Structure 1
């Protein structure tokens, strides 16, 4: 029988505890051995006192066992924490690498807040299984050893206890079912709250401006009653098992002690063995400790299921081929991408000439940004393929593709400690001179040099306007662009003067690259050598901006919906 994904992940996580898991096993064995030996030694001590035996020797041995229990228990906690820390660290690294390998698919399948919840909270809970599995296994040993000890004292004691075992088994089975269901729901709702909180933080300016702080707080915390319900379910499961255990265990103890008392009167066992039997029967019926360990395991398994769900999502696979010499020609062959309400792009055939400056235009939802994402394999088509200089993107090695294609986005995220790091962020290692040159091309060099530490200034400590952040993002794209530069509506945060300057760079210093520009601005389309007009899931038209401008539906792609039928007059230079 094959293990399920959460169970495989738990075992893999436990193995990553390394040597500390082995030390935990040793300390747990010492604890188990001392725990099983102590009742027998105490019984022999009592018999020695009553029979005038070697009391000092048995008292000394009892003291040694108590010391071992205290000392080893402390060491066991320490090494257990070390094993859990190693397991959790491995699991978080594994999950983070996989989330990043998923690329844009990660945030389409899971919300950012939910991913953070799984990476932080659920990974830590799963990592607890490293020592938890050892404690659960070792937690079963004392009851089994106690049953054997009862048989060694008197087989009637063992048979009496075993008569009540089926009841304990049923209690454990019911507990595991209840605690697993409640744990899965608890972690799922925690992820929902985390997702809503991240959304709220991302839109904090809108929330503040709208004056909806209280309403948003209520929305984020709306699932709390469900968290309470699942948490209460876990506590109720523990309460039920405790109550039933408190009923069953004393009955078993009384039954075994009654048989032990009968054996004492018949001379089969000694008073010390009666004392030992009273301890062993409690140990054998020690459902509380086992239930506590099983509760921890059930919660770890529920958390592992959420982590395994992300890891099970297939990451984007890359090939091993290299690009031949070429100008950066892009080909879309029969490309179809499905959306929620049908295909966004349907059986699209398109060739982007190498080294051309191409503008992609169309109404909102026409698939412009999707086409840009396909061009550099940020997403894969559901059908068809995209080729760069004759090589399908799926067959290219990751490093080869990322060196060849660079992106600039509408709202860039600046990654790295300093501005030099942010501009140089990518597969290459540009020189300081190249960083500065590309920053000048993006009109970012001036305000960066005015900062206290220039390019060494920390990004996190420097407030930037939207336009400044956009220019730093453009500088990064300029540095990383090999054969193809893709700019997805980057002019949205730029003033007219800066946009004009960037256009000069695109037609000057970067003219040897294929430049694919997604735009809503007629002025940008007018400067392009080729315009690709998307509509109705495909290419509605292609040509120059001036040639397409005669079509009123094309003109409408650059206008607000409320004025799409208003005639637009253009001068000799085209629309601006």
Structure 2
């Protein structure tokens, strides 16, 4: 752009000065035309040079990003040495929490302020735990710690009573299933997306999880059924969210992590998903980040977070009577739900 503008300004200057010189009789018209032809002849090489310089700068920036990516510390795949602590007894395993956080503090950088501080949280082997709180309270950071995307700066996380350091990253994530709010899907068919979490699943198992999230009838109406390629015209945002949830349920994890997995669902479908969550909570642990009142009410335990720490915890009824922040959150959720219903 700068080079092209410079060429145009040069041509204007040649015309202006040349016309003045011709008018004064100090320059022949043929000489002015020659200068203009010289300027036009320079246009192509100057433009090409500027394009090459732009490409060079882009290449330098890309090389810098590649170097930064190469310098990123990768997760260790080495299996840690066995812990000296005795393994939990087979008969006592049911009494041990599937997940436990003890005085956990974490930050997104060595010089950054802690995103969570002094977190003590026990996730029982069965049941539904909801995590609520205002934006920036540290809810997503808590999930990042559980999934081991983020290492704690202090404290300890335990899986089945054993510290995280005694497990590999793959061991931990094999026990978990995570459904995030953005509900990413991979290129391919509906079948490909479901089998991503469990490649050996049968067609009947696929259809069962689709029935659980009330998506089986929709899939049956498609010409290619489970083999339909996924695209924005094939399924809506809410249906994509249910496909991601079905994929997680197919894995039958010990802990199902849901980051507002009902955000894009209508009332009827949301009720079906909650039935599915309640059913799953009877056979394993479900932990949800909740922004909807319907998700909060039926949870076994509600954990209220504020400014990176746990403010309080309890049942919905208990918190409504004892915690002002919880009452404010519930009122905000009611207003949002009423507004959404009016808009529909």
Q: TM-score, normalised by structure 2?
A: 0.71
2:314 paired residue among 543, 557, 566: 543
| RCO higher in structure (CA 8 A, sep ≥6) | 2
| 1:26-65 equivalences in 2 (<5 Å) | none
3-state SS of 1:492 partner: coil
| 1:180-219 equivalences in 2 (<5 Å) | none
3-state SS of 1:364 partner: coil
Structure-1 residue corresponding to 2:269: 498
2:181 paired residue among 410, 413, 416: 410
How many residues are matched? 274
Q: Which runs of 5+ in 2 are unaligned?
A: 1-48, 337-344
Q: CA deviation at 1:451?
A: 0.8
Relative distance call for 1:300 and 1:392 in structure 2 (3 A) is same
1:529 paired residue among 300, 311, 317: 300
CA contact (8 A) 1:408 1:473 kept: yes
CA contact (8 A) 1:332 1:349 kept: yes
CA contact (8 A) 2:98 2:124 kept: yes
Q: CA deviation at 1:522?
A: 2.1
Deviations 1:89-118 (A, max 9, x none): xxxxxxxxxxxxxxxxxxxxxxxxxxxxxx
For 1:532 and 1:427, the matched residues in 2 are separated by: 31
Structure-1 residue corresponding to 2:23: none
Structure-1 residue corresponding to 2:156: 385
Deviations 1:205-231 (A, max 9, x none): xxxxxxxxxxxxxxxxxxxxxx95992
| 1:25-424 equivalences in 2 (<5 Å) | 231=53, 304-318=63-77, 320=79, 326=93, 329-338=98-107, 342-424=113-195
CA contact (8 A) 2:148 2:169 kept: no
Deviations 1:120-142 (A, max 9, x none): xxxxxxxxxxxxxxxxxxxxxxx
Relative distance call for 1:447 and 1:394 in structure 2 (3 A) is farther
Q: CA deviation at 1:430?
A: 1.7
3-state SS of 2:249 partner: helix
Q: CA deviation at 1:383?
A: 2.4
| 1:440-519 equivalences in 2 (<5 Å) | 440-460=211-231, 462-519=233-290
Structure-1 residue corresponding to 2:11: none
Relative distance call for 1:230 and 1:354 in structure 2 (3 A) is same
Q: Do structure 1's residue 433 and structure 2's residue 255 form an aligned pair?
A: no
Q: Which runs of 5+ in 1 are unaligned?
A: 1-226, 236-298, 565-576
Deviates more, 1:397-406 or 1:527-536: 397-406
3-state SS of 1:508 partner: helix
RMSD value, Cα: 3.2
Q: TM-score, normalised by structure 1?
A: 0.43
For 1:435 and 1:446, the matched residues in 2 are separated by: 13
For 2:108 and 2:62, the matched residues in 1 are separated by: 31
- Bigger-Rg structure (1/2): 1
Q: CA deviation at 1:403?
A: 2.2
For 1:304 and 1:339, the matched residues in 2 are separated by: 25
Q: CA deviation at 1:233?
A: 12
